[in-house]
Amino acid sequence: MLERSNVFPLPSYAEPDESTIEDLVGPKMYFGLVDLSYRVRRRRRLSRTVEIVPGEPVLTTVCNAFGAEPPGRANFDPLIPAEYLFKWSSRKIERLPGYADALTRFERLFANVNGAL
């Protein structure tokens, strides 16, 4: 019904129901993107140390991981990974874990948007 109104809710393309654009990217790729954008040292990388929590938004998981870190680590700002995504070469981004899954989700969303035009 919403698609006939040209509204495409993110939960149709990603989990959980409270999805954000970060959930559309997917937890594996987003953790890798955060690791790169914050230059997280290898042994402390989210992609290695943080468990994906089913039903929990990716941003909540990342914020909790940053909050659990000792003082000295920067506070998490979701604009930093977004800026990194737009500035760096696609070759670097294409190597992130979960890239193919994220691409599939975005392609499905854009196909539906284009079909509604």
Domain map (residue ranges) of the chain: 3-101
* Cβ proximity of 40 and 73 under 8 Å: no
Tally of CB atoms within 10 A around 69:
13
Whole-model pTM: value is 0.82
Q: How far apart are CA 23 and CA 59, in angstroms?
A: 8
Q: Are 106 and 24 in contact (CB under 8 A)?
A: yes
Q: How many CA atoms lie within 13 A of 104 on its CB side?
A: 7
CB atoms within 10 A of CB 103: 14
8 Å CB contact between 98 and 32: yes
Name the residue with higher pLDDT: 9 or 94: 94
Q: How many residues does the chain have?
A: 117
Average pLDDT of the chain?
A: 85
CA distance 109 to 111: 5
| pLDDT beyond 50 at 1 | no
DSSP at 64: H
15-38 mean pLDDT: 90
